[in-house]
Amino acid sequence: MKCLAPWVTIRQDEDGSVMPCSSYFTRLKDVKIGSTHRNIQEFFNGSDYNDFRMRMCNDEDIKGCIECKVDAENGNPSHRDYWNTKYANITEPAIRELELCLSNKCNFQCIACNSHFSNKWYKDDKALNELGVDKTGQLSPRRHLTSPDDMVGVNLDSLVLLRILGGEPLIEPRFLNVFEVLKERNIIQNVELFINTNNYIFPNKEWQEYLRLFKKITIVLSIDSIGKLGEWNRHGFDMKKFTINEGRWINFPTNVAYNSVVHNFSVLGLNDLIHWVDLPIHFGMEGKDHALDLTLGPSYLCIQNLPEHTKELIADKLDQRLYKVKEFMFAEEHNPKYVKQYKKFYEYFEKKWGMPKENKLIYESVCEKY
Does the pLDDT of residue 31 top 80, yes or no?
no
Q: Which pLDDT belongs to residue 139?
A: 78
Answer left, alpha or beta for residue 311, where phi above 0 means left and psi between -120 and 50 means alpha: alpha
Does the pLDDT of residue 307 top 90, yes or no?
yes
Q: Which pLDDT belongs to residue 289?
A: 97
Work out whether the CA dihedral 112, 114, 116, 117 comes out positive or negative.
positive
Q: Which pLDDT belongs to residue 355?
A: 98
Does the pLDDT of residue 196 top 90, yes or no?
yes
pLDDT band for position 104 (50/70/90)? very high
* Contacting residues for 307 by C-beta, under 8 A, at least 6 apart: 334, 339, 365, 366, 369, 370
272 vs 278: CA distance, rounded Å: 10
* Cross-strand bridge partners of residue 294: 262
Average pLDDT over residues 71-76: 80
366 vs 360: CA distance, rounded Å: 10
For the chain, the 3-state helix, strand and coil shares in percent, each to the nearest 5, are 45, 15, 40
Least confidently predicted of 16-30, 230-244, 309-323: 16-30
Q: Which pLDDT belongs to residue 142?
A: 84
Average pLDDT over residues 329-349: 97
110 vs 230: CA distance, rounded Å: 10
User: Which residue type is seen at 108?
Assistant: F
Q: Which pLDDT belongs to residue 28?
A: 58
Higher pLDDT, 56 or 158: 158
pLDDT band for position 100 (50/70/90)? very high
- Residue-wise pLDDT for 342-364, tens only, equals 999 999 999 999 999 999 999 99
- Residue-wise pLDDT for 137-187, tens only, equals 787 888 888 888 989 899 999 999 999 999 999 999 999 999 999 999 999
pLDDT band for position 73 (50/70/90)? confident
User: Which residue type is seen at 115?
Assistant: S
- Residue-wise pLDDT for 38-54, tens only, equals 788 988 998 888 888 88
Average pLDDT over residues 103-111: 97
For the whole prediction, is pTM greater than 0.95? no
What does the chain come to in residues? 370
Does the pLDDT of residue 33 top 70, yes or no?
no
257 vs 270: CA distance, rounded Å: 17
Q: Which pLDDT belongs to residue 36?
A: 67
Residue 294 is given by DSSP the state: E
Q: Which pLDDT belongs to residue 19?
A: 84
Q: How many helices (H) and strands (E) does the chain have?
A: 15, 11
254 vs 340: CA distance, rounded Å: 44
pLDDT band for position 122 (50/70/90)? very high
Q: How many Cβ atoms from other residues are within 10 Å of residue 364's Cβ? A: 11
Average pLDDT over residues 309-319: 98
199 vs 215: CA distance, rounded Å: 22
Q: At 109, which helix (H) or strand (E)? A: strand 109-110
pLDDT band for position 1 (50/70/90)? low
* Contacting residues for 70 by C-beta, under 8 A, at least 6 apart: 296, 331
What rounded mean pLDDT belongs to the chain? Answer: 93
Cβ(238)–Cβ(200) under 8 Å?
yes
347 vs 149: CA distance, rounded Å: 39
Q: Which pLDDT belongs to residue 368?
A: 97
323 vs 308: CA distance, rounded Å: 16
Q: Which pLDDT belongs to residue 72?
A: 83
- Of 165, 20, 33, whose CA–CA distance to 105 is shortest? 165
Q: Which pLDDT belongs to residue 59?
A: 82
Average pLDDT over residues 109-130: 96
Q: Which pLDDT belongs to residue 272?
A: 99
Domains of the chain: 95-368 (3.20.20)
- Residue-wise pLDDT for 208-221, tens only, equals 999 999 999 999 99
- Of 260, 161, 164, whose CA–CA distance to 203 is shortest? 164
